[in-house]
Structure 1
Amino acid sequence: MSLVKQLIAAVLTVLIGLASGTLFVMSDSGKSMLLRQLESHALDSATHLGLYISPYMAAKDSATIETAVNAIFDSGFYQRIAVTDPSGEPLYIKETAPEISDRVPGWFVSLVHIDPPSMERPIAHQWRNVGTIHVQSSAGYAYERFWEGAQRALLLFAVLALLAALMITLLMRYLLRPLGAVERQAEALAHKTYIEQPELPKARELRSVVEAMNTMVRQVRQMFEEQARNIDELRTIAYRDPLTGLLNQRACIAQLRARIDYERDFGPATLTLMRLRSLAEINRACGEDSTNHLLKLIADSLRELADGQSGNSLIGRISGSEFLLLTEQEPLKSLRPRLERALEQVDAQIASLYDGSPVPQRPLLAGISHSEDKGSAALLLSEARLALSHAEEQGERIFEYTDNTMTQENRSQNWQQHVATAIRNGQVFLQYQSLMDGTHQQLHGELLARILDEENEPCPASRFIGVARELGLLDAMDRATISTALSYLRREPEGIRIAINLGQDSVTASDFAKWLGEQLKNLPAPERVSFEINETVILNNPERVQALRAQMRAIGVTFGVDNFGIHPRGFSYLYNLKPDYLKIDGSLIRDIDSNDEDRFFVRSLIGVAHNIDVQAYAEHVERNSQQQQLLALGIDGTQGYLHGKPEALN
């Protein structure tokens, strides 16, 4: 029982006890008053009867005495009337057994004892004592009158008790309302949610409690934010180029491999590699500060080139003079104008640094390569470097690496029609990759959506995802995946738990939330499905994702953050979003068994998750040594080829 209820109960108990005592005193007083009234009434009756029958008592006229006594007795107010002569011999006695009306409950009669008073009056006639009249009131009459009074008192007591209880309850709840808010604060704090009370109570003791609780909440929140800042600083030191703020070489190559080698639905990609050929010469001629400003300008130019992409772009500085930009595949004819503007900006900046002196020719070069469905990150980077070499040899600013044997399937109208038809008809083939805990128990299977090619074989995402993106069918692809997955859940009540990825096109679609609610309505076991959203998509669409999260929580569906830990804006959003779990990006896991910085950073990310009661999982785990390190760091689950290749969701 809550403190408020206990206080209300205690006050009501005291008041009821006080009221009960008052009622008892009043009842006893009322009983005494009733008995005195009966005594007075009996005495008056004896007096009046005596005045009437005194001559007959003197004459000992029993018949007249009997008639007079019966007339009075029949009124029902008396239990016994006796008329005696001066010697005490009865002239006439009229009495009846006590009769109590049915209107008086038996328990009341048993509880309350009433002994009706008996009064006597000596009677004189012509200055001579002629006898005595004895009158005893009726017990039934006494009980009836007393019960009527008790009923009124009890009714009044009940009404007043209810009003008092209501008033005390409202008053106590109002006065102790801050304690309820403190209780909610404590419960929220236990779940790593920080709530402060803006209004302080007027009572000094309660004000002190609320102020102390608010202070504690602020301190705990500050600790979390300080931890987030420290981790962000560590990430900057370990994975960011200190001059430009871009990813450094190790982080950039790790993420490039994660996006290209693991088929994470990135689709066909374009890699642009920029090289500042005359870095040493510019540094000598213009000074370190001017050269640093130039390098920052190149970084800003790459960020501008990445604008307009879906958020999956990758920008990094992979050496002192080389910069990398990975975007969704884009033909050179649309990329070239923007790329040339960026190069011209750098040329203009270099010219201003030399201030009329001879400027190095073609100081900044760009090499471009494109990924294939079976290509690798190493091959893509190697081809971009070859393009740079060709640009330098042939005196060009921009050179695109092309392979004459490269398949044109993605550009084929027949293939585009095939992809569009498959997606629109919901003809998707689902595979899943298992997420396992430390005891090798499956937590869920993350779904991988595929379509069947002309030979009715599942094709990798890189073969069709670019086409789906160009045709604006990524949202339709997600919906087809969800429909097929939910059909599996309804068809297989004992099947596995599944996790479904949602892309940016679905998150930003105006009708997606309503559509998803209809699909999940009446789902037999909503806890068997979870949805995951890329961290970048979450940060780009916080309000929409927050609304989706609230909708999923209400239905009972779990929610996770995918590719966690690599976005430069940090992870303070976790405080408001409060997902059920997060998956640490695979680029941070690749060298976890050999790199101290990765281990320390991943341990910090796991700590952030656990501090707000969120499960932390790791992606792209391939080796036992990786898993052992992750388990030692406190990871809750691992996913990757270590646990097997993707399996078909039957």
Structure 2
Amino acid sequence: MSRPLVCLNYQRGSFSLRALLLLFTGVLLVAVLLASMSASYGYFRQYVSSQLAGHAQDGATAVGLSLSNAIDGRDPVASSSLIDAVFDSGRYLSVEYLDHSGVVVAGRRTGLRKADAPAWFIHFADLPTPVATAQVVRGWQRLGLVNVVSHPGRAYRDLWRIAVALVLSAAVISGIGLLCLWFLLRQTLQPLNALERQAEAIGRREFRQRIRVAGTRELRQVTVAMNTMADQLEKLFYGQARLIQKLRKFNNEDPVTGLASLTAFDQRLKVEVQSEERAAPGVLLIFQLSQFAKFNMSRGRQEGDRLLARLAKIIEHFTSQHADAFAGRRMGASFVLYLPGVSSDDALPWCQSLLADIDDAYSAVANPLAVAVHGGLAPTVDGAGVPELLIAAESALRQAQSQSESGCRLLMPGSGAQLGAEAWRVTLQEALALKRFALWLQPVMSCAGLVHGKPLYHQVFSRINTADGALKAALFVPMAEHLGLIAAIDRQLIRRVLAHLRLRPQMPLAISLGNASVKDPKFQQDLLAELKAAGAVARNLWVGISELAIHRHREAATRLVQSLNDLQVSVVVDRFGVGGVPFSYLKNLRLEALRIDNSFTHGIDEHGDNRFFLKSVVDIAHSRGVKVFASGVETVEEFKVLCNLGIDGAMGYHLGRPFTADNHQLTGE
């Protein structure tokens, strides 16, 4: 998975801006309401207390006047009757009539009866119970005092009702205020959610997402700025991608046919034939159109270029039917094609069929010119390099050109045992049935990792165990693709790799899928089921998909990459640089890394164009959060140059040779 360009710092437990504003404003609102409620409660308590004191004083005055005027205060019986009548109203705690010496002449007293309020509230309110006093006189004679204390039951009841009303009103006002505030913040801050999604999309290098300009003036300004930044980043990325694509075409493709240029073909052929890591049997074909100079003179150069471009489509269709095959244009009407992992017995009829198709297309356009197409085949042999292979193919071409009709000749520069297609079918089916595919691992090292000795991960290769030794994947994979057996091999490989990861989860592994496996819906279904069943173990797996598979099977490859992203399985674009694919897939797919093909790294210390190309690739990939790895590093000089270019890691015989995985641990077959 690609790493974000901008890392958004999320912290567990941190508040969102909306929550923070709601909390702050809510606390402030509640504090204001509490203060208001407290002030109102204090006012009502004071009011009730004053009412209670006034009631007591009125009662004391009334009793005092009655004892002074209506009833003879000197008569204890009459005084007691009056006090009983007043006390029985239930509104007083005590009513007492005292003489000069403080002796109670008559009186009644009771405790605080249960009020219509909770006990805790009565304890909290604690209303004062002042004693009201009045004089009792007869003429000029002072008889005594009347002391009255009002009963606070009604006061507590009234105060309780007032308090409940205050709390309910504060709660309702707070709730309505917070709800209105939440709705207002939701509408006001809604652009922030879009800004967050856009920032995350930019972090994933997706620049298409735009935000509708809305909200407050400040948020509108931020929104406009973010949209502008996304537009500029998208233009920058597309500009870089177009530049890299043009550089690749300029350096590696023939401008007329779109096939590999002479330099690019020779570089890749050198890797396939002479590189210790990838060297495997194959067949080289050189073919040439006869009478093409006359055709150019009679029809014009533009017509000749159109003919070459049309023939290139036929050649590309042929190479698409043969795994890892590649073709190029040497000069004029001379083409070259290499078929890896193919025997001369199989290559001869295939190439004759190709030349027949080209001859039909050429003859139809060149009529009435008598034209022909001649080809020369040469298989690779041990000990022979690219020069010897080219010489043999050109000699075979000259033999074919000695005949007037179209045809192909085969020249064997030496002897070498090669299996035909049917022999390979038997060998591969037997290996599948008996599970003879062994896992070999090769470390991928960073520039610093070579010093510390710890690889970033290990690339997995499969080999077939035979009595004569292990057959490398470079030998049998092209034929397995041609015979339709690569998906079965990849299934077995996946099971063994996942079994290895279960036993050694600390060792990340990377596998490369065959092109036919990528486009096979049944294989995709089986692969995803295996990865889901593996659970967290699968997250230590890197799945490689060749750039050529992305080019030829775009929809199937995109669907597979997205499914792997959902399972948090890292995806690597394998053999980057030879697929001829525009860089747009870097924008549409979430990728972990690119793995540069051997043909670009081989001899890169002496190849200035490849260095410039790789430096541009590294820069644009890193700007997208995609790592860049290199393969086929065989010398210390190549590795130094790659490190200076800023790659994230590399593999090759210089950094570590493949070694067999521990067979006793692979029990998950």
SS at structure 2 position matched to 1:640: coil
Opposite residue 17 of structure 2, the aligned amino acid is L
Question: Structure 1 stretches of 5 or more lacking a match?
Answer: none
Q: Does 1:552 align with 2:564?
A: yes
Q: 1:302 aligns with which of 315, 318, 325?
A: 315
Q: Which residue matches 2:249?
A: 236
Q: Which residue matches 2:510?
A: 499
- The question of whether the paired residues in 2 share the 8 Å contact of 1:314 and 1:327 is answered with yes
Q: Does 1:10 align with 2:3?
A: no
Q: Which residue matches 2:375?
A: 366
Once the two structures are TM-superposed, the CA of residue 26 in structure 1 deviates from its matched residue by 2.3
Cα distance change on mapping 1:380 and 1:139 into 2, 3 Å: farther
Once the two structures are TM-superposed, the CA of residue 374 in structure 1 deviates from its matched residue by 9.2
- What TM-score comes out, normalization by structure 1 length? 0.85
Once the two structures are TM-superposed, the CA of residue 594 in structure 1 deviates from its matched residue by 1.2
Q: Which residue matches 1:22?
A: 36
- The question of whether the paired residues in 1 share the 8 Å contact of 2:441 and 2:660 is answered with yes
Once the two structures are TM-superposed, the CA of residue 43 in structure 1 deviates from its matched residue by 5.4
Opposite residue 409 of structure 1, the aligned amino acid is L
Report the Cα distance in structure 2 between the residues aligned to 1:443 and 1:228, rounded to whole angstroms.
Answer: 27
Q: Does 1:616 align with 2:632?
A: no
Q: Which residue matches 2:500?
A: 488
Once the two structures are TM-superposed, the CA of residue 379 in structure 1 deviates from its matched residue by 5.6
Cα distance change on mapping 1:286 and 1:37 into 2, 3 Å: same
Q: Map 1:308-323 onto structure 2 (within 5 A).
A: 308-309=321-322, 312-323=324-335
Q: Does 1:105 align with 2:105?
A: no
Question: Structure 2 stretches of 5 or more lacking a match?
Answer: 1-14, 663-669
SS at structure 1 position matched to 2:604: coil
Q: Which residue matches 2:306?
A: 293
Cα distance change on mapping 1:125 and 1:269 into 2, 3 Å: farther
- The question of whether the paired residues in 1 share the 8 Å contact of 2:351 and 2:408 is answered with no
SS at structure 2 position matched to 1:170: helix
Opposite residue 499 of structure 2, the aligned amino acid is S
Report the Cα distance in structure 1 between the residues aligned to 2:398 and 2:242, rounded to whole angstroms.
Answer: 41
Q: Which residue matches 1:399?
A: 408
Q: 2:610 aligns with which of 598, 601, 626?
A: 598
Once the two structures are TM-superposed, the CA of residue 500 in structure 1 deviates from its matched residue by 0.9
Q: Which residue matches 2:582?
A: 570
- The question of whether the paired residues in 2 share the 8 Å contact of 1:502 and 1:532 is answered with yes
Opposite residue 105 of structure 1, the aligned amino acid is W
Once the two structures are TM-superposed, the CA of residue 336 in structure 1 deviates from its matched residue by 3.6
Report the Cα distance in structure 2 between the residues aligned to 1:118 and 1:399, rounded to whole angstroms.
Answer: 132
Q: 2:544 aligns with which of 516, 532, 547?
A: 532
Once the two structures are TM-superposed, the CA of residue 291 in structure 1 deviates from its matched residue by 3.3
Report the Cα distance in structure 1 between the residues aligned to 2:485 and 2:431, rounded to whole angstroms.
Answer: 11
Q: Does 1:449 align with 2:458?
A: no
SS at structure 1 position matched to 2:229: helix
Opposite residue 235 of structure 1, the aligned amino acid is R
Report the Cα distance in structure 1 between the residues aligned to 2:468 and 2:155, rounded to whole angstroms.
Answer: 102
* 1:328-372 CA-partner distances (Å, limit 9, x unpaired): 755544554453232122233233xxxx6xx4x545423344567
Once the two structures are TM-superposed, the CA of residue 503 in structure 1 deviates from its matched residue by 1.7
SS at structure 1 position matched to 2:654: helix
Q: Which residue matches 1:432?
A: 441
Once the two structures are TM-superposed, the CA of residue 225 in structure 1 deviates from its matched residue by 0.7
Report the Cα distance in structure 1 between the residues aligned to 2:38 and 2:461, rounded to whole angstroms.
Answer: 80
Higher relative contact order (CA 8 A, sep 6+): 2
Opposite residue 253 of structure 1, the aligned amino acid is D
Cα distance change on mapping 1:260 and 1:33 into 2, 3 Å: farther
SS at structure 2 position matched to 1:442: coil
**Comparing 443-452 with 96-105, which one deviates more in the overlay?**
96-105
Q: Does 1:465 align with 2:477?
A: yes
Once the two structures are TM-superposed, the CA of residue 141 in structure 1 deviates from its matched residue by 6.4
SS at structure 1 position matched to 2:41: helix
Report the Cα distance in structure 1 between the residues aligned to 2:253 and 2:189, rounded to whole angstroms.
Answer: 52
Once the two structures are TM-superposed, the CA of residue 444 in structure 1 deviates from its matched residue by 1.2
- The question of whether the paired residues in 2 share the 8 Å contact of 1:297 and 1:346 is answered with no
Q: 1:420 aligns with which of 417, 429, 438?
A: 429
SS at structure 1 position matched to 2:96: strand
* 1:463-517 CA-partner distances (Å, limit 9, x unpaired): 43355335422111011111111111222355x3211111233223324344334
Q: Does 1:248 align with 2:256?
A: no
Report the Cα distance in structure 2 between the residues aligned to 1:467 and 1:276, rounded to whole angstroms.
Answer: 29
Q: 1:146 aligns with which of 141, 159, 166?
A: 159
Q: Which residue matches 1:345?
A: 361
- The question of whether the paired residues in 2 share the 8 Å contact of 1:423 and 1:473 is answered with no
Opposite residue 153 of structure 1, the aligned amino acid is L
Cα distance change on mapping 1:505 and 1:302 into 2, 3 Å: closer
SS at structure 2 position matched to 1:642: coil
Once the two structures are TM-superposed, the CA of residue 575 in structure 1 deviates from its matched residue by 1.6
**Comparing 139-148 with 187-196, which one deviates more in the overlay?**
139-148
- The question of whether the paired residues in 1 share the 8 Å contact of 2:565 and 2:590 is answered with no
- The question of whether the paired residues in 2 share the 8 Å contact of 1:56 and 1:62 is answered with no
SS at structure 2 position matched to 1:251: helix
- The question of whether the paired residues in 1 share the 8 Å contact of 2:372 and 2:405 is answered with no
Q: Which residue matches 2:7?
A: none
Once the two structures are TM-superposed, the CA of residue 643 in structure 1 deviates from its matched residue by 1.4
SS at structure 1 position matched to 2:207: coil
Q: Which residue matches 1:409?
A: 419
- The question of whether the paired residues in 2 share the 8 Å contact of 1:263 and 1:462 is answered with no
Report the Cα distance in structure 1 between the residues aligned to 2:283 and 2:66, rounded to whole angstroms.
Answer: 131
RMSD across aligned positions (CA) = 3.9
Q: How many residues align?
A: 637
Q: Which residue matches 1:643?
A: 655
**Comparing 158-167 with 480-489, which one deviates more in the overlay?**
158-167
Cα distance change on mapping 1:469 and 1:291 into 2, 3 Å: closer
Cα distance change on mapping 1:289 and 1:540 into 2, 3 Å: closer
Report the Cα distance in structure 2 between the residues aligned to 1:581 and 1:646, rounded to whole angstroms.
Answer: 21
Q: Does 1:179 align with 2:195?
A: no
Q: Does 1:474 align with 2:486?
A: yes
* 1:8-55 CA-partner distances (Å, limit 9, x unpaired): 233223322322232123212322342344345445655776798778
Report the Cα distance in structure 2 between the residues aligned to 1:582 and 1:613, rounded to whole angstroms.
Answer: 11
Opposite residue 376 of structure 2, the aligned amino acid is G
**Comparing 430-439 with 536-545, which one deviates more in the overlay?**
536-545
SS at structure 2 position matched to 1:176: helix
**Comparing 123-132 with 596-605, which one deviates more in the overlay?**
123-132
- What TM-score comes out, normalization by structure 2 length? 0.83
